[in-house]
Amino acid sequence: MKINEFYKRIIFGTLYVIILWSATSYSESSFGFLFAVLGIVCTYEMWQLRKGQSKLIAFSYVIVPFIIIQFFGFTELHSPENKFDSSPILVLFIMTWVFDTFAYMVGSKIGKNKILPKISPKKSWEGFIGGYIFTLLSVYFINQYFECFSLNFLILLALVIPFTASTGDFIASYYKRIANVKDSGVLIPGHGGRLDRMDAFMISIPVLYILINLLNENS
């Protein structure tokens, strides 16, 4: 990766995280608006990518996570008073960003053994393991600042998210490979489209929703 491209990726990636974090945390209205827009844009990008592939699978992959967030009380699940609280989705964001960032960093330095080279040639087992380790380490810091989940539940999430994030990434990569494109769009300089930034969450969001309900996580 060229130096200019690297810095572009860092700058616009940081701006994207700041905007996403601010809108998610500010109010219930900004949260709802943000994910409505993200859902529409990601659905459009998937429409462009699917190239004759199954509509049901392609659009379920994109639409289901946003339906859960918008209509199933995702932000009130752990609150006895059913008050808006974006902490669950923020915890998911942090863990996923930690995994993605360190998987990329470790993989780019020492990655040799590819996981699915025909679908995503840059993803390696070394990167996955590196991201996994740092995701587990992030539990300590997340537990200091967020009270929405118990420590045991955070550990469970850290064990699961690397797999769900990778699965979401591979599914998006599969559709991009079929469409013969590198990115799902061009909305974010250095990063591609919205789906390129949200693919890791597409499986993680439904899994988190299921785990919260299954384990009655109300810490």
The per-residue pLDDT for range 107-165, each reduced to its tens digit, is: 988 988 999 888 888 889 999 999 999 999 999 999 998 888 899 999 999 999 999 99
Count how many residues are written for the chain: 219
Instruction: Read off the amino acid at residue 27.
Output: S
Q: Which residues of the chain have pLDDT under 70?
A: 1-13, 16-17, 50-55, 72-82, 182-194, 216-219
pTM of the predicted protein model: 0.81
Distance CA 152, CA 121 (A): 34
Q: Say how many C-beta atoms besides its own lie within 10 A of residue 87's C-beta.
A: 18
Q: ∠ CA(199), CA(205), CA(209), 5° rounding?
A: 170
Distance CA 203, CA 98 (A): 17
User: 83 by DSSP, 3-state: which?
Assistant: coil
